[in-house]
Structure 1
């Protein structure tokens, strides 16, 4: 899984809205991609998604 892109649509995480920016401290967070998939990120890297490609 490419930790810098959405695994469903390939959208670059750097281009997601500002509210989905990489957290300042290491942690687990969830963001919604432009395709509608929820992404689980650990320390800013995608580790899971709600929909498969």
Structure 2
């Protein structure tokens, strides 16, 4: 997955509002994209999304 943009809509992650962070050995963040998808980032890399990628 691209760690710079939402895998569903391509929105730049740097432009999203703050993330909810859970302290652990690794940094795990849950970020809501403007398209409505929840993104899971582990150490800054997108490792999951709640909705499938849009096809164009």
Please tell me the TM-score bracket, short chain as reference: 0.7 to 0.9
Runs of 4+ residues deviating >6 angstroms: none
Q: 5+ residue gaps in structure 2? A: 20-25
Q: 5+ residue gaps in structure 1? A: 21-25
Q: Which has the larger radius of gyration?
A: 2
TM-score normalized by the length of structure 1? 0.80
TM-score normalized by the length of structure 2? 0.77
Q: Which has the higher relative contact order, 1 or 2, with Cα contacts under 8 A spaced 6 or more apart?
A: 1
